[in-house]
Structure formats: structure tokens, C-alpha cells
Chains A and B, each alone.
Chain A
Amino acid sequence: MSDLTELTLAEARDAVAAKKVSSRELTAAFLKAAEQARTLNAYITETPEIALAMADASDKRIAAGDIRPMEGLPVGIKDLYCTKGVKTTACSKILANYIPQYESTVSQNLWDNGAVMLGKLNCDEFAMGSSNETSAFGNCISPWRAKGSTAQLVPGGSSGGSSCAVAARLALGATATDTGGSIRCPAAVTGTTGIKPTYGRCSRYGIVAFASSLDQAGPISSTVRDCAIMLKAMASVDAKDTTSVDLPVPDYEASLENGVKGLRIGIPKEYRVAGTDPEIDALWDQGVAWLKAQGAEIVEISLPHTKYALPTYYIIAPAECSSNLARYDGVRYGHRCQDPKDLIDLYERSRAEGFGAEVRRRILIGTYVLSAGYYDAYYLRAQKVRALIARDFTEAYKKCDVILTPATPAPAFGIGEKVADPVTMYLYDVFTVTVNLAGLPSLVLPAGVNKTGLPLGLQLIGKAFDEETLFRAGRALEVAAQFKAKPEKWWSV
């Protein structure tokens, strides 16, 4: 085979199972690609020895005919997932030297399904950001460039290393996490496919916590089928996370080609947001037409509280963040300041030195909205608005089976363009954040390019635990969109 890194995960799986290529050859090809793409800063830790050892173990099983669903397939792991014995930093200085003594359930599930670890991927610090620019280990750079320009673009965030690695063919797939859009925004701006499953579908055990009522693990990969394969391998009920749900994980791949005939697709009028790139609005219309042409029924729906989702999120997420990040005390693990004069000084300086600007800002906002005298006005009110946002979806699903929306209000922006004003950056998640508040599953896939050749995505939102319909509808859109664009390999040394 010519370039092994151009295979999709499903193609690689079939090639490995048919012994047309060994896991070692496949893994070595991706390790080499990753090494040659260090300019992009997608991997912050490469684990070639582990990768090759895992690949060899897979090849032995393949020889013995004992093949698991992801046998020998190399993937990247977002550096938010604890990997036993391999540095896990959440891309924060405060965890710069942290070596977990245990494995996250989701990554363990991947290894138990035969997958191979290539390394740990860059992300926003503690997953707080929409552009990967808050990482303590430098920006991750998108492999995409606008036609005729060499300006560096963001790969989206927070799972920017994951989207970059898949788009630049540095992994067959990657794990990611999504608290307000952190799987879907990076997928949308890099021409990759990502799914945030229903809250509770994947275990959160061993994933560095940001906002526990919103965080959910999911894959980024190159096709809908690849995501179906990965999610099946990642999801499970887990005694170590009581919010993981004890429901069977369906074989998502089996229902992929079932089509959308008779499926009711909801189009929420509140997602016509002023300021959205007209090319994205046009793509949304195109998506509607594609599904209609394949026999779906189009239904106009209303999600009246949509405009309040972002401000609600920016109370609830920082509140949970301030509570979760209280554990970084400079005592049990993580960064400790030099020569503390007393215990309080140790806490205060270790945390101030270890956390970056955006994380500090969110901790302070969270502390404020939870503090005596402000709790009711901010936090309690936000929890009530959250209930209304979730209710909007419950009402909408009386009329439709799945919802189609844009994924981001604009294509990828330039590095440094939005860092000055936090609120401008927050607005980038306008289409994705409602889903986390309601706990629903949502899939983003590439559906076209803009006039400068940059990828644009569409988003599908499903009913709770109905990822199967999402994959079906996603596959129908994928077939119609015929997205073939690829970034030029300007980065390869």
C-alpha cells in the first residue's frame, strides 16, 4: 500500500484484519508522520516505544486469529485523559510533571479493544478554550491554510491537538472531550468528524475534570463510520463513575447505512444568528436540501431559550471549574511554589503560578457566583435557565427525531485574533453549548469549504442515548456532501 496514513480507520481495520498490512507498519507510518509534523505541535508527548510494543502485541493476536474491534489501530489521546505511567498535563503548568498511576476508563477501553497509543495530544489548558491557544505548551496549528495565505489558523479547541492530528493524518482517530463544544468546534474547523455522545455514555473516570455536569468524552476521526467504531470501543458503564449509564452500547456501525427516509429533521429558527458567516447559513440550507432529497421530512422547530445558553454556561461551567480545580493545592501533586512562608502562601502562590490566565479568570468567576450573597442571583438562576434550555429540546423532540444546525458561526480564525476579549472567544461556541447543558448527543461533520478553501461543518443533535440516529443521519449527509478537500502538506519536513 502506498501511503498508509491516508487510510480511514475503517479501511485500516480491514487491511490489518486481512493481513495486507501489519499493525507495526501502520503504526510506524503514523509515528513518522507525527515526527515530521512537529511544527503543528499536535502531540505534546510522543510515545513511540509504547506504540510499537502495542503494535507488536496486536500483530501477534492477528497472527493467532484473535482480533478485537480496533486491533492494531494507532490513535492519539487528548492530554486530558490519564494514561498510566505516561505524563498527563491537561496542558497546564500545574500538572507539567504529573505521571498518573492509573488509566482512564475510556483509554483502557480502547486498549482492551486492541487500539495502539501514539502519544498525548495538545489541548486548551484544562480544556478551557475554543482555539487551543490557552495550552501551556504552545499553540497547536491547524494544517489548513486559506488559499493564497500562509497565515497560521487555529485548529479549534479545546481538543485542537485531536482535530489537528486527524486532519493532518498523524493518527487514525483521537480521543477528545466536550464541555461546551470542545469536540465539535475543532472537528468543524478542520474538516474532521466528531461526536459528543449523551452525557453518561462514556465514563469520566480518569479524565481531568473541568465541569463535571457537562464534560463528556468522545472521538474525533475522519469519517462518520470511524467515529461509530471508536465510540463503540470507548463507551461503557463504569463502577468508577456513578454518572455513567448502565445501557447497552449498540453496534453503531450496523445501522449506519439505514438512511433518513421518513426521519423528521428539526430546523431550529433560533439558530439563524446575526453575525453568522453567510456561507455557513447557505451550507445549512444545503444540508436541509440534502436530507430532504433522501426522503427526510423537514420540520421547523423552536428552541426559544437558545440565546441564553452561553451566559448560562459561563456561570455553570466556571462554578464547577472552581470547585473541581480546588484539588490543585501544591501538596499532593502538581506544581509547588518555592519557599512558601506558610500553608496559605503555599496554596495561593502554587495555584497562581501553575494556572494560566483563562483558568484563573474562570476560577474567580466561579468562586464569585458561588459565594455567599451571589449564589441565588447567579448560580441558582443559571441552573433554572438550564432547565428551560433542556425543556426546549424535550418539546422539540415531540415534533422531530434529530436536529440539524450549523456547527460554528465562522470558519477557523487566525492565531491571536480572538485572545484579547474573552467574551468574543466564548461566542464561538454559540451553536454547540446548548447540547452540553441539555446533556444530549451531537455529531459534527465536514460538509463543504468556503471560498478560501477552508472546511465548514454541520451539526446534528439527537435525543438522549440515540446516537444511532445521529450516525445514520450523519452518514446520509456525508454521502451527499462528498467532502474530499485536504490540507496541503506544507508542514512536512
Chain B
Amino acid sequence: MSVDKDTVRRIARLARLKLEEERVEPMMAELNGILEWVEQLKEVNVEGIEPMTSVVAHRLKMREDVVTEPNNADALMVNAPGAADHFFVVPKVVE
């Protein structure tokens, strides 16, 4: 399988990564280089094999459903590139 230019544009959109039109073709070549290389996994017989989703065979721990973090809105907002009164500011979404 290899990707074409439309696929590159589509996945860039899905990933929310702006891809300038002149970058589409070089990116297609780079991605196809990698995809061609991973193709070799097709040779492996994986019939009846369960996919590995967790490295350690432990049951996920449960914790008490209680508040453990202090109310610290000031600290949370420190790194916001746009903030006002403990709100994150973004461009208008609703017309």
C-alpha cells in the first residue's frame, strides 16, 4: 500500500497539521519510504495471535473516586497562550 497526494492531504487534515501545497509531494515520498519498509510485516503469520495491548500483565488499578488535586485554576492558566478570567480564549466558534 502506498499513499497518494489526496491521502496525504486527508491525514494532515485529520492530524490538524497544516501542510502547505508544495510540501504535499515531498511528504508523500517520505511517508511512502517508511510505509514500504514496514510492508515486510505482511510476511509474518499472525493467525490466531492476540494483539498485544499492554506490556505488563496486571489488572488496571482502581482508585477511590475522590478529589485529589487542589482547586488551582491560577496555576492551570499560567501557560495558556490566550486567557481571560480563568477561561481559555479561542477564535469565535459560533456565528
- Residues on A lying within 8 angstroms of B by beta carbon are 97-99, 101, 198-200, 213, 239, 242-243, 245-246, 305, 307-308, 311-312, 314-315, 322, 326, 329-336, 340-349, 351-352, 355, 360-361, 363-365, 367-368, 371, 374, 377-378, 380-388, 390, 421-423, 438-439, 464
Contacts and interface: CB of A to CB of B under 8 A. Distances in A.
Given A239-B63, A439-B55, A363 B15 contact: yes
B46 interface: yes
B34 A422 contact: yes
B16 A308 contact: no
Given A381-B46, A423-B33, A364 B8 contact: yes
Contacts of B18: 345, 348-349, 351-352
Given A351-B16, A383-B51, A334 B90 contact: no
B56 A245 contact: yes
A433 to B, nearest CB: 13
B47 to A, nearest CB: 9
A209 B50 CA distance: 26
Interface in B3-20: 3, 7-8, 11-19
B80 A332 contact: yes
A342 B61 contact: no
Q: Which of B14, B34, B35, B63 has the most CB of A within 10 A?
A: B34
Interface residues of B toward A: which range?
A: 35 or more
Given A331-B90, A361-B30, 15 more contacts: A198-B56, A333-B80, A334-B81, A342-B92, A342-B93, A352-B19, A365-B34, A368-B7, A368-B35, A382-B38, A384-B44, A384-B46, A384-B49, A385-B44, A422-B34
A308 B40 contact: yes
Given A333-B80, A382-B41, A439-B56, A371 B33 contact: no
22 contacts: A101-B72, A101-B75, A101-B79, A198-B56, A200-B55, A200-B58, A213-B53, A242-B60, A311-B41, A331-B81, A331-B82, A334-B79, A336-B81, A351-B17, A352-B19, A361-B27, A363-B17, A365-B31, A380-B51, A381-B41, A384-B50, A422-B34
B55 A213 contact: yes
Interface in B48-69: 49-56, 58, 60-61, 63, 68
A438 B76 CA distance: 36
B73 to A, nearest CB: 11
A421 B32 CA distance: 12
Given A333-B80, A342-B91, A199 B56 contact: yes
A368 B79 CA distance: 31
B93 to A, nearest CB: 5
B56 A200 contact: yes
A101 B49 CA distance: 43
Contacts of B84: none
A129 B14 CA distance: 24
B48 to A, nearest CB: 9
A314 B78 contact: no
A96 to B, nearest CB: 11
B66 to A, nearest CB: 11
Given A99-B79, A242-B60, A334-B81, A368 B31 contact: yes
Contact of A343 (B41, B78, B79, B90): B90
B11 A341 contact: no
A101 B51 contact: no
B89 to A, nearest CB: 9
B88 A331 contact: yes
A340 B16 CA distance: 14
